[in-house]
């Protein structure tokens, strides 16, 4: 039987990185085919090539048996391929309907947009696939799960027979994942082919018919889902046994480092983001803050760091009230931050490794004398120490930080923040976008700091990570902490429900 | 004794509409450019160059409408140049725009010298005659304000409405807004992002060129060094004040036109030294920017879009 | 002098492989030189098209600017105010701000210095001169403070506000010198400043004054501040990534305000120097666009103070040589403004240059 899509010998290189190396991949019509691999294995690149976003350096693409040159997404769509990206391709201020028909707008009198026709046509699709959405709502007002539905609708509207889903469950709560799976099975029943990109072993195993594993740009193998198991897949993905849990000592001395009382704040749009957050982190403890993105975590971290003003409530570091203390003083008082988006908040890519390492402590008497000038000899010594101690892979300390790999950049940030022996570490999605090696390193370091006495607030959307590292788990939902328990007293189901709805029933 | 009515009367409002016209054209142009994510700081330079071109062509051909067409063409050319620099080569938008401004100053001064032997002002040329709309003219008050104007003023009003329709009621407008807000989403929807950016930035130059032609041909019938006097920048403020919508920008332009007209009246009456009065439009712009922004969310993050 | 990569036109090596590919710093100089060359080529084309001989024009310019001691003196005299305005633009640019109102800050500084110069008679020179310079710097600083405040408090884009304030400065100083402080006579100017306020001429009969020493010291000072002080570190951090800077505890708003104030003060200082050293009185609209030259020079200099110094001499040569050229050949002086604009455009599009080089590289 001719496969729906057949990729043969695909090779693609980017500056400094071989993303795909001689890849052979094919998916049969009407099957759900999983594309599994860790972050950076080359899955998204491969599918982007199939979707016409990139052109391969070598190789052939065949769709339904015919060889094609995939020049653009427009061409891919014409051939019946649709893609739902990890980062949504939705224009925030346009409505659902407008986003769906973008590029194929129904016209009235030749130039004007026919709004009625637009709504009619999209509504028909919604009914057919039983995907329920408010068509006239601007996209930015919708939750992430609903936005994903819009993305799927968009692909279907453009006549997709082959649907590529890129890490679709990354932003969904467990119940939403179930709903997605139902929808995917319904698509299969309608004869659609689904390619399911993910790094989550369990899910891929649960939903897919066949699974192709990629590792560092190459295909490791293709297996039938019912003929394999977690262990085998994990080994194919990584090539060694993955450590799922850490060896940790139980939490001792109850000295409270961070105390958050009734904290309130608004987001960028002026809407309430934090509605009375209550939280406590002790020394030598990791508190994991679980929650679906968009429930106030980002704002909480910003308020804790002093980057956003609190509109109510208090923050206490030890005994002192730091609610209105400026950021530089908070840093001096011993708070460290591993930011969510290292490119935006963590690093200055135009600065050298040295300059990034002293960033934040540059006014420290150790580096800056009374005249205001920086002692570069001392700074150099300090940087070289850190590069050694934290194994930061850089040609030298004068390399611009922008030239380093993602994992190395994160190490730089970790080195900078942890070497200050902070009292409190706020780690926001610290392993996002990192490969397994870097992920293990960061997690190991967090545990190490915990053992050395730091209090750690770990904010993560990755439940596995929260589960593996936390002494206590808090769940944030719509700006409030709805649960705060020891891991033994709860389970994934409960957490999932709390994350999705704030309640356990 | 000078009475308030000598200053504030129907004539003032008619003058306000007239003075608002070049600003409104440029502001509309600015909207199209910024809606696709390209800041066009060069509006000032484009206006100046187009004003010059219009007068030059009218000088040599005796036909002011040819001058207007030439002004539009030159404006489009400069807009296209800005587009190439910022879209294709991802050059810094502000530096490119500033380059256009400085180029305009030098080019127009140099060519003025060559053609008329003086870099101060050109000779008088045939300008565009004012028209009267008979029925409208009869309407009390409104007729006096709207009824008798250069055709370019009416064109400006029409262009404002058309711009609104294009941006918010057509598929093209949908695509324009998508390209500015989320170019990758537009690309994956099959839209040619580069083409739309080129189109809109060139259009912004053409509209600004229209404004420039009005400044020189529709009004004074000559070209004077630096005659735009910052109007390109004021147009940007009008665009921001109007929240990047055609009607909003039009309203803001009226405000600035009013300040301009008022300033000229006050000067003519000699109540205050002219230099003090001349600062009014600029101070008003600053005040507007201070009062408005922060609440206004721009339609794009203006980051260059690079296709893989 | 280490050229780091925080420049507007950071050209990495590798332009077509047929060009200087020695080190990042050198290859950047290469790109700037090519930009200047292209500007002059286009300028030559325009000259040709309007009926002048480019060789004659450029030749006269060169002779005028460097041919004799007088020419060289005038070249540096013209370069001096440009150094100030270039440093002003540069300093603000390092913090991420576009200060295109240097012209206005220059003017208010000049007026303030002139006013101090015509008052305070009887003050000894070693007090009078610094006082006047200080007044100029303060006035310029104030003119930078206003847009800075508007930007940080209200988000008003500094490009527009500095531009607007430039016009306001033009008219306000014009007013001052036409009414309250007008000297008797037809010309809108103040009375001459007291001799005790004058900056000495160092190369008579040229107009070259001690102001150039101030400019030179300032250049060194700015480079030191940017590279070696914590303040400069924070300014650069803010310019490269204000979010990360803020996260590291840097008060970004404060830094932006300080950057623009310093920027304005530098321009104001330049205006003062021009009054105290060259004109010795404030004349209405006396600045022939030094602010814009400064902008071009800062860009051509690769946003590095020493580069700006060199480029300022180039532009000073353009001006002084240009005046000689106009007298000798009749080519309108405005060609130098055209050249200036062309240089900016070519410097602004490094990739454009690179791709042109690549095509050109294939041919030779």
Q: How many domains does chain A have?
A: 3
Residue C353 lies in a domain: no
Query: Which of chain C's residues have a Cβ under 8 Å away from the Cβ of B230?
Result: 163-164, 167
Residue B205 lies in a domain: yes
* Residue contact B185–A93, C-beta within 8 A: no
From CA A459, how far away is CA A426, in angstroms rounded? 8
Residue C31 lies in a domain: no
From CA A165, how far away is CA A83, in angstroms rounded? 6
> What is the pLDDT at residue A245?
42
Same domain? A328 vs A368? no
Same domain? A27 vs A164? yes
Query: Which of chain B's residues have a Cβ under 8 Å away from the Cβ of C289?
Result: 105
Q: How many domains does chain B have?
A: 1
Task: Give the pLDDT band of residue C25 (cuts 50, 70, 90).
Answer: low
CB of A162 within 8 Å of any CB in chain B? no
Residue the block writes with tokens 């002790």 = A282
Same domain? A65 vs A99? yes
> What is the pLDDT at residue A505?
53
From CA A411, how far away is CA A442, in angstroms rounded? 8
Examine the pLDDT at C291 and tell me if it is beyond 80: yes
What are the residues whose beta carbons fall under 8 Å from the beta carbon of C38, sequence distance 6 or more?
C342, C346, C353, C356
* Residue A164 φ/ψ, nearest 5 degrees: -100, 120
| Among chain A residues, CA nearest to B308 | A54
Cα R_g (chain A), whole angstroms: 25
Q: Check residue C277 and report its DSSP letter.
A: I
DSSP-assigned states of every residue in chain B: ---HHHHSSHHHHHHHHHHHHHHHHHHHHHHHHHHTT---TTHHHHHHHHHHHHHHHHHHHS-HHHHHHHHHHHHHHHHHHHHIIIIIS---HHHHHHHHHHHHHHHHHHHHHHHHS-SSB------PPPEE-HHHHHSTTHHHHHSEE-HHHHHHHHHHHHHHHHHHHSHHHHHHHHHHH-HHHHHHTT--HHHHHHHHHHHHHHHHHHHHHHHIIIIISS-BTTTTTTHHHHHHHHHHHTTT-HHHHHHHHHHHHHHHHHHHHHHHHTSS-HHHHHTHHHHHHHHHHHHHTTSPPPS---PPP---
> What is the pLDDT at residue C7?
32
**Chain B interface disruption, residue of A15, A71, A102, A114, most B CBs within 10 A:** A102
From CA B2, how far away is CA B11, in angstroms rounded? 16
| Among chain B residues, CA nearest to A45 | B308
Instruction: Name the residue with higher pLDDT: B197 or A230.
Output: B197
Residue C345 lies in a domain: no
Residue A407 lies in a domain: yes
What are the residues whose beta carbons fall under 8 Å from the beta carbon of A11, sequence distance 6 or more?
A18, A20, A21, A22, A23, A56, A57, A58, A59
The residues on C that touch A, with CB distances below 8 Å, are 4-6, 224, 228-231, 233-234, 236-237, 240-241, 243-251
Read off the tokens for B215.
């400044």
* Residue contact A374–C249, C-beta within 8 A: no
Same domain? A275 vs A320? yes
> What is the pLDDT at residue A199?
75
Q: Which helix (H) or strand (E) holds A193?
A: strand A193-198
Examine the pLDDT at C16 and tell me if it is beyond 50: no
Query: Which of chain C's residues have a Cβ under 8 Å away from the Cβ of A372?
Result: 229-231
> What is the pLDDT at residue A405?
82
| Among chain C residues, CA nearest to B277 | C171
SS3 at position A473: strand
Q: Check residue C95 and report its DSSP letter.
A: T
CB of B294 within 8 Å of any CB in chain A? no
Residue B204 lies in a domain: yes
Residue C344 lies in a domain: no
Q: Name the burial class of residue B173, with classes exposed (0-12), middle (13-18) and buried (19+) by CB atoms within 10 angstroms of its CB.
A: buried
Domain housing A210 = 5-238
- A241/chain B closest Cα distance in angstroms: 36
Same domain? A295 vs A395? no
Residue C348 lies in a domain: no
Same domain? A22 vs A116? yes
Which residue ranges in chain A fall short of pLDDT 50? 240-251
Q: Where is average pLDDT lowest: A105-119, A355-369, B119-133, B164-178?
A: B119-133
Same domain? A409 vs A441? no
CB of A400 within 8 Å of any CB in chain C? yes
Q: How many domains does chain C have?
A: 1
Which residue from C41, A12, A112, C6 is spatially nearest to B167, judged by alpha carbons? A112
> What is the pLDDT at residue C26?
57
Residue the block writes with tokens 């062509």 = B57
Examine the pLDDT at C192 and tell me if it is beyond 50: yes
Average pLDDT over residues C226-235: 93
What are the residues whose beta carbons fall under 8 Å from the beta carbon of A67, sequence distance 6 or more?
A60, A61
> What is the pLDDT at residue A183?
84
What CATH number should be reported for the domain holding residue C324? 1.10.3470
From CA A315, how far away is CA C142, in angstroms rounded? 38
Query: Which of chain B's residues have a Cβ under 8 Å away from the Cβ of A51?
Result: 188
Residues of chain C above pLDDT 70, percent: 88
Instruction: Name the residue with higher pLDDT: A164 or B267.
Output: A164
Same domain? A428 vs A415? no
- The dihedral built from the CA positions of residue B66, B71, B74 and B76, taken in this order, carries a sign that is negative
Residue B70 lies in a domain: yes
Residue B284 lies in a domain: no
Q: Interface pTM (ipTM) of the complex?
A: 0.80
A114-151 pLDDT tens trace = 888 888 888 888 887 777 788 888 998 887 778 888 88
What CATH number should be reported for the domain holding residue A479? 3.40.50.300
Residue C13 lies in a domain: no
Task: Give the pLDDT band of residue B158 (cuts 50, 70, 90).
Answer: very high
> What is the pLDDT at residue C332?
82
Residue B93 lies in a domain: yes
Task: Give the pLDDT band of residue C13 (cuts 50, 70, 90).
Answer: very low
> What is the pLDDT at residue C351?
53
**Chain B interface disruption, residue of A19, A53, A73, A89, most B CBs within 10 A:** A89
Query: Which of chain B's residues have a Cβ under 8 Å away from the Cβ of C167?
Result: 229-230, 278-279, 282
Same domain? A410 vs A435? no
> What is the pLDDT at residue B21?
95
Query: Which of chain A's residues have a Cβ under 8 Å away from the Cβ of C6?
Result: 350
B35-70 pLDDT tens trace = 999 999 999 999 999 999 999 999 898 888 999 999
C127-143 pLDDT tens trace = 889 999 999 999 999 99
> What is the pLDDT at residue A248?
41
Q: Check residue A276 and report its DSSP letter.
A: E
Residue A295 lies in a domain: yes
Examine the pLDDT at C359 and tell me if it is beyond 80: no
Residue B247 lies in a domain: no
Residue B262 lies in a domain: no
Same domain? A164 vs A218? yes
CB C31 within 8 A of CB C346: no
Residue C83 lies in a domain: yes
Query: How far does Cα A97 stand from its chain's mean position?
Result: 27
CB of A422 within 8 Å of any CB in chain C? no
Task: Give the pLDDT band of residue C12 (cuts 50, 70, 90).
Answer: very low
Residue C79 lies in a domain: yes
Task: Give the pLDDT band of residue C17 (cuts 50, 70, 90).
Answer: very low
Domain housing B129 = 22-228
What are the residues whose beta carbons fall under 8 Å from the beta carbon of C4, sequence distance 6 or more?
A350, A352, A400
Q: Which helix (H) or strand (E) holds A27?
A: strand A17-27
Average pLDDT over residues B22-28: 96
DSSP-assigned states of every residue in A282-324: ETTEEEEEE--TTSSHHHHHHHHHTSS--SEEEEEETTEE-TT
Is the preceding peptide bond at C205 cis, omega within 30 degrees of 0?
yes
Domain housing C240 = 53-330
Can you list the alpha helix ranges (DSSP code H) found in A306-435?
A: 327-332, 353-358, 376-389, 406-418
Same domain? A216 vs A290? no
| Among chain C residues, CA nearest to B115 | C50
> What is the pLDDT at residue A249?
43
- A364/chain C closest Cα distance in angstroms: 10
Task: Give the pLDDT band of residue C341 (cuts 50, 70, 90).
Answer: confident
Examine the pLDDT at C364 and tell me if it is beyond 50: no
Same domain? A103 vs A223? yes
> What is the pLDDT at residue C179?
86
* Residue contact B169–A105, C-beta within 8 A: no
């Amino acid at each position: 039987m001719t496969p729906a899509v057949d990729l043969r010998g695909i090779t693609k290189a980017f500056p400094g990185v071989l993303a795909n190396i001689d890849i052979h991949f094919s998916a049969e019509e009407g099957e759900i085919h999983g594309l599994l691999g860790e972050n950076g294995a080359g899955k998204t690149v491969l599918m982007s090539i199939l979707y016409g976003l990139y052109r391969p350096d070598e190789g052939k693409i065949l769709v339904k048996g015919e060889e094609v040159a995939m020049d653009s997404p427009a061409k891919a769509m014409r051939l019946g391929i649709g893609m739902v990206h990890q980062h949504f391709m939705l224009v925030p201020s346009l409505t659902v309907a407008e986003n769906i028909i973008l590029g194929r707008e129904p016209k009235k009198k030749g130039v004007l947009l026919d709004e009625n026709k637009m709504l009619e046509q999209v509504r028909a699709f919604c009914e057919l696939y039983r995907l329920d959405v408010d068509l006239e709502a601007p996209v930015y007002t919708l939750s992430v799960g609903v936005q994903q539905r819009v993305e799927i609708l968009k692909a279907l509207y453009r006549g997709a027979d082959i649907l590529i889903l890129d890490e679709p469950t990354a932003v969904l709560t467990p119940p939403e994942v179930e709903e997605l799976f139902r929808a995917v099975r319904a698509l299969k029943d309608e004869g659609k082919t689904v390619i399911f990109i993910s790094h989550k072993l369990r899910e891929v195993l649960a939903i897919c018919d066949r699974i192709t594993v990629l590792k560092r740009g190459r295909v490791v193998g293709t297996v039938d889902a019912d003929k394999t198991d977690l262990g085998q897949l994990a080994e194919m993905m990584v090539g060694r046994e993955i450590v799922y849990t850490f060896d940790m000592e139980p939490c001792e001395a109850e000295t409270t480092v961070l105390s958050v009382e009734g904290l309130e704040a608004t987001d960028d749009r002026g809407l309430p983001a934090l509605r009375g957050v209550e939280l406590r982190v002790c020394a030598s403890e990791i508190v994991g803050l679980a929650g679906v993105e968009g429930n106030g975590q980002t704002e909480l971290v910003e308020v804790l760091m002093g980057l956003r003003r609190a509109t109510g409530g208090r923050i206490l570091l030890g005994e002192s009230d730091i609610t209105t203390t400026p950021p530089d003083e908070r840093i001096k008082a011993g708070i460290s931050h591993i930011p969510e988006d290292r490119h935006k908040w963590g690093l200055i890519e135009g600065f050298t490794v040295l300059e990034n390492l002293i960033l934040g402590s540059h006014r420290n008497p150790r580096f800056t004398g009374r005249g205001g000038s920086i002692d570069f000899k001392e700074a150099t010594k300090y940087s070289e120490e850190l590069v050694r101690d934290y194994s930061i892979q850089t040609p030298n300390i004068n390399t611009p930080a922008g030239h380093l790999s993602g994992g190395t950049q994160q190490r730089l940030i970790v080195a900078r923040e942890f070497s200050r022996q902070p009292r409190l570490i706020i780690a926001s999605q610290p392993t996002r976008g990192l490969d397994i090696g870097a992920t293990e390193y960061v997690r190991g370091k967090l545990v190490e700091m915990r053992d050395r006495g730091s209090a750690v607030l770990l904010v993560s959307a990755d439940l596995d990570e929260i589960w593996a590292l936390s002494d206590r788990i808090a769940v944030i939902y719509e700006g409030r902490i709805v649960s705060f328990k020891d891991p033994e007293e709860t389970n994934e189901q409960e957490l999932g429900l709390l994350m999705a709805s704030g309640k356990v029933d | 004794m000078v009475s308030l009515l000598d200053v504030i009367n129907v004539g003032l409002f008619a003058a306000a509409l007239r003075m608002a016209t070049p600003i409104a054209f440029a502001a509309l142009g600015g909207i199209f450019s910024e809606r696709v994510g390209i800041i066009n700081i060069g509006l000032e330079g484009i206006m100046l160059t187009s004003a010059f071109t219009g007068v030059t062509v009218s000088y040599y051909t005796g036909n002011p409408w040819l001058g207007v067409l030439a002004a539009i063409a030159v404006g489009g050319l400069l807009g296209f140049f800005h587009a190439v620099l910022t879209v294709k080569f991802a050059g810094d938008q502000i530096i490119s725009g500033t380059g256009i401004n400085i180029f305009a100053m030098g080019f127009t001064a140099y060519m003025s010298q060559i053609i008329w032997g003086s870099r101060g002002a050109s000779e008088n040329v045939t300008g565009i005659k004012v028209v009267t709309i008979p029925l409208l003219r009869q309407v009390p008050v409104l007729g006096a304000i709207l009824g008798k104007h250069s055709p370019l003023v009416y064109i400006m009003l029409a262009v404002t409405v058309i711009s609104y329709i294009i941006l918010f009621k057509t598929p093209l407008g949908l695509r324009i807004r998508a390209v500015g807000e989320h170019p990758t989403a537009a690309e994956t929807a099959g839209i040619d992002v580069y083409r739309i950016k080129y189109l809109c930035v060139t259009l912004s130059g053409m509209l600004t060129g229209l404004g420039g032609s009005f400044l020189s041909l529709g009004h004074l019938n000559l070209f004077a060094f630096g005659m735009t006097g910052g109007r390109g920048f004021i147009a940007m403020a009008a665009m921001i004040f109007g929240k990047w919508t055609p009607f909003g920008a039009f309203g803001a332009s009226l405000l600035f036109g009013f300040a301009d007209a008022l300033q000229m009246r006050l000067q003519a009456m000699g109540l205050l030294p002219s230099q003090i009065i001349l600062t009014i439009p600029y101070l008003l712009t600053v005040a507007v920017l201070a009062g408005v922004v922060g609440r206004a969310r721009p339609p794009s993050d203006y980051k260059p879009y690079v296709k893989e | 002098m280490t050229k780091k990569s925080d420049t507007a036109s950071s050209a990495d090596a590798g332009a077509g492989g047929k060009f200087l590919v020695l080190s990042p710093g050198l290859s950047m100089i290469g790109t700037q030189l090519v930009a200047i060359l292209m500007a002059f080529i286009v300028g030559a084309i325009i000259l040709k098209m309007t009926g002048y001989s480019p060789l004659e024009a450029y030749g006269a310019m060169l002779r005028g600017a460097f041919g004799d001691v007088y020419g060289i003196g005038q070249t540096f005299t013209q370069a001096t105010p440009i150094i100030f305005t270039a440093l002003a633009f540069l300093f603000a640019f390092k913090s991420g701000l576009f200060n295109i109102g240097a012209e206005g800050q220059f003017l208010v500084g000049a007026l303030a210095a002139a006013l101090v110069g015509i008052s305070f008679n009887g003050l000894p020179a070693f007090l009078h001169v610094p006082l006047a310079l200080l007044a100029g710097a303060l006035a310029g600083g104030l003119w930078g403070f206003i847009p800075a405040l508007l930007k940080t408090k209200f988000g008003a884009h500094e490009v527009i506000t500095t531009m607007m304030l430039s016009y306001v400065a033009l008219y306000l100083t014009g007013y001052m010198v036409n009414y309250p402080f007008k000297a008797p006579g037809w010309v809108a100017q103040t009375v001459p400043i007291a001799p005790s306020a004058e900056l000495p001429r160092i190369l008579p009969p040229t107009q070259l004054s001690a102001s150039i020493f101030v400019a030179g010291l300032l250049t060194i000072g700015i480079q030191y501040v940017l590279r070696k002080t914590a303040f400069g570190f924070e300014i650069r951090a803010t310019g490269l990534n204000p979010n990360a800077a803020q996260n590291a505890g840097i008060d970004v708003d404060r830094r932006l305000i300080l950057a623009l104030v310093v920027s304005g003060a530098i321009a104001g200082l330049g205006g003062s120097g021009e009054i105290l050293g060259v004109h010795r009185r404030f004349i209405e609209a006396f600045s022939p666009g030094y602010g814009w030259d400064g902008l071009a020079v800062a860009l051509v200099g690769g946003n590095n103070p020493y580069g700006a110094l060199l480029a300022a001499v180039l532009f000073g040569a353009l001006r002084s040589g240009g005046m000689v050229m106009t007298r000798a050949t009749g080519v309108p002086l405005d060609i130098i403004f055209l050249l200036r604009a062309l240089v900016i455009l070519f410097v602004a599009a490094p990739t454009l240059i690179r791709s042109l080089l690549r095509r050109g590289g294939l041919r030779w």
